[in-house]
Structure 1
Amino acid sequence: MAIRLFIDGAAGTTGLEIRERLQGRSEFELLVLDDAQRKDESARRDALHEADIAILCLPDEAAKDAVRLADGAATRIIDASSAHRVAEGWTYGFPEMVGHEAIANARLVSNPGCYPTGFLALVAPLVRAGLLPADWPYTVNAVSGYSGGGNALIDRFEADPDIAFRAYGLALGHKHLPEMQAYAGLAHAPVFSPSVIPAHRGMVVDVPLPLAALRGQPRADALHAALEAQFAGSGLVSVAPLAPVPGEMLLLRSATPWDGLALHVCPSADGRQARLVAVLDNLGKGASGAAIQNLNIMCGLPETTGLRL
């Protein structure tokens, strides 16, 4: 019997990419609302109660409302918004970090944010291993394709070809910071500098480290070895060789959907500094791909089924 699946917010960017990854998959029966029903609370409530699993691709407040509408049902929920990422009772949907069993047994799963996916993959294992201090004032420089900003930002970039670069979050306090701090086990929220470029998809997350100034003066090869150990055997996360350091990293306007995550440790020649760099698709492992991965795990299916790898 097919698993009944409802995507609340299926017409948005994340919802559309989830549906693309589900094409041809007979394991699921997709519950679909027409344009009029999508905004009808009663129709949404019925679908949320009828589904075995619901994926929420909604703004934060709408996601909270959807959880309210699902109250009383046994429906399992994957929330792609940031509404529940540090909420009590929700499992953080990063299986490589929290464990696949935790996702498999959860009823409520909150997808990680796109930027936090890169940051946490780089930093959390190293803090846990005692190689990086939990009380260091970390900084994060990151750039994303404009699709991460939703339909409004997509329309703005595509209507104005003169935009070359957009820095934002200048007042600090970005909504991704709570999960970045909590799941990396940090004493302080990092200073986060996000930006957007005129490419539809793609993301680079860069954490610079003054190794010689850190407590214990960790070596780049030790950081690299710890990341390799954390993600050994992963079908989605890869750790690039420590050497040679790549001359450049590119985000391409022509990039196609990709659900992987590539991690790099780039040390200086004298070993006194390093940059930890994550490369991913903000719509892939940063959103829709992660939702499908969690869906597969929750349903007891191979986690990479339907993913673009």
Structure 2
Amino acid sequence: MVAKIFIDGEAGTTGLQIRERLAGRRDLQVLSISADKRKDQDERKRLLNAADVAILCLPDDAARESVSLIDNGTTRVIDASTAFRVDPAWAYGFAEMDQSQSEIIANARFVTNPGCWPQGLIANVRPLIAAGLIPSDHPLTYNGISGYTGGGKQMIAEYEAEGDAASHFMPYGLTFQHKHVPEMTTYTGAKSAPLFVPTVGDFAQGMTTFVPLQLGQLATVPTGRQLHAAIADHFAAIKDSFVTVAPYEELAKTPALDPEAHNGTNTMTLHVFANDARAQAVLVAVYDNLGKGASGAAVQNLNLMLGVSAKESLAA
């Protein structure tokens, strides 16, 4: 059976990359809307209801509107916006989050694609809280750098227009009200919101994220190797995982932390660095903000929902 897929918002960055990944699939028929009807609600409604799976690559309000236009009981939805990220009626689309998450996604009608930034934090922190190495009330800080494609059409246009004059390193979200914070809090298992400071760099795509940990005030201070083992054990138990854990090493620096290292793939690599004598550690994630952070994750979720290999159409 050929599944009908409609990408609502296929002209945007995420939509285009999903379309590119699905090109050549014989098990899918991608339904397209003509350019002159992209704002035609009746035509969008027709295609949404004709699809077996609708993938929404839209701003939050437009995504909510698209869901409201589906009046059948069969069209399944993957939403790439933040509109439903913490809605308990929607399955969270980070397949490696828990051993059961792939099955939850596979059986869900509504799946909310995770944000690019939250995945690096969730991947590193959730296993540590679950293992009891970090208490759920431990204060968390989170930072990193991402390519400018993570900011959508407006940021892409600004960076490309500025050329060599574009900022190489620009922190933002300095009111600490970033739209990804609710899902970070919900899915790490933390009791309070992390202090999150994202940065955009003068490169198109890719990202490296950091979770610094001050461990000295804990009743039981975990070693770097214990942190690494808990994270590695978690992902070793996940079937068809795109998340890998680098060996535990004491390094002053490594080219493996290049934010562009996994561009064009759906791979995420986690690293643990620690100084046990100082009771300090940093947890690092490297991945493509447009791959595992967006379009790649959407295709992975689509594969799970269709019952095909999770790795179909995806480069590891």
Q: Same fold (TM over 0.5)?
A: yes
* Paired letter, 1:49: N
User: Which residue is equivalent to 1:85?
Assistant: 85
Contact between 2:168 and 2:201, CA under 8 Å: does it hold in 1? yes
Q: Go from structure 1 to structure 2 and tell me whether the alpha carbon gap of 1:182 and 1:235 turns closer, same or farther (over 3 Å shift).
A: closer
Q: Go from structure 1 to structure 2 and tell me whether the alpha carbon gap of 1:241 and 1:271 turns closer, same or farther (over 3 Å shift).
A: farther
Query: What are the residue-to-residue correspondences of 1:117-132 with 2, within 5 Å?
Result: 117-132=119-134
- Measured after TM superposition, the shift of residue 251 of structure 1 is 2.9
Q: Go from structure 1 to structure 2 and tell me whether the alpha carbon gap of 1:273 and 1:255 turns closer, same or farther (over 3 Å shift).
A: closer
Q: Secondary structure at the match of 1:20?
A: helix
User: Which residue is equivalent to 2:97?
Assistant: 97
Tell me which moved more, 24-33 or 241-250: 241-250
Q: Deviations over 1:49-101 (max 9, x none)?
A: 00000000001111011100113341000001111010131010111114211
Q: Deviations over 1:13-56 (max 9, x none)?
A: 00000011101111100100110121110000000000000000
User: Which residue is equivalent to 2:233?
Assistant: 229
User: Which residue is equivalent to 1:284?
Assistant: 291
Provide TM-score, normalisation by structure 2.
0.94
User: What is the CA–CA distance in structure 1 between the aligned matches of 2:266 and 2:252, rounded to whole Å?
Assistant: 21
User: Which residue is equivalent to 2:54?
Assistant: 54
User: What is the CA–CA distance in structure 1 between the aligned matches of 2:188 and 2:153, rounded to whole Å?
Assistant: 30
- Measured after TM superposition, the shift of residue 234 of structure 1 is 4.3
Counting aligned pairs with the same residue, the percent is: 48
Q: Structure 1: which 4+ aligned runs deviate by more than 6 Å? A: none
Tell me which moved more, 242-251 or 283-292: 242-251
- Report the count of equivalent residues: 308
Aligned partner of 1:202 among 206, 225, 230: 206
User: Which residue is equivalent to 1:113?
Assistant: 115
User: Which residue is equivalent to 1:257?
Assistant: 264
Aligned partner of 1:298 among 305, 308, 312: 305
User: What is the CA–CA distance in structure 1 between the aligned matches of 2:93 and 2:181, rounded to whole Å?
Assistant: 16
Q: Go from structure 1 to structure 2 and tell me whether the alpha carbon gap of 1:234 and 1:73 turns closer, same or farther (over 3 Å shift).
A: closer
RMSD of Structure 2 on Structure 1 (CA) = 1.4
* Paired letter, 2:275: S
Q: Deviations over 1:122-162 (max 9, x none)?
A: 00111111111111110001110000011110010111121
- Measured after TM superposition, the shift of residue 245 of structure 1 is 2.8
> Which residues of structure 1 form unaligned runs of 5+?
none
User: Which residue is equivalent to 1:270?
Assistant: 277
Contact between 1:3 and 1:52, CA under 8 Å: does it hold in 2? yes
User: Which residue is equivalent to 1:64?
Assistant: 64
User: Which residue is equivalent to 2:145?
Assistant: 143
* Paired letter, 1:236: F
- Measured after TM superposition, the shift of residue 271 of structure 1 is 5.5
User: What is the CA–CA distance in structure 2 between the aligned matches of 1:73 and 1:65, rounded to whole Å?
Assistant: 17
Q: Go from structure 1 to structure 2 and tell me whether the alpha carbon gap of 1:103 and 1:241 turns closer, same or farther (over 3 Å shift).
A: same
Q: Secondary structure at the match of 2:144?
A: strand
Q: Secondary structure at the match of 1:143?
A: strand
User: Which residue is equivalent to 2:33?
Assistant: 33
Q: Go from structure 1 to structure 2 and tell me whether the alpha carbon gap of 1:255 and 1:298 turns closer, same or farther (over 3 Å shift).
A: closer
User: Which residue is equivalent to 2:215?
Assistant: 211
Q: Secondary structure at the match of 2:154?
A: helix
Query: What are the residue-to-residue correspondences of 1:170-189 with 2, within 5 Å?
Result: 170-189=174-193
Aligned partner of 1:190 among 186, 189, 194: 194
> Which residues of structure 2 form unaligned runs of 5+?
none
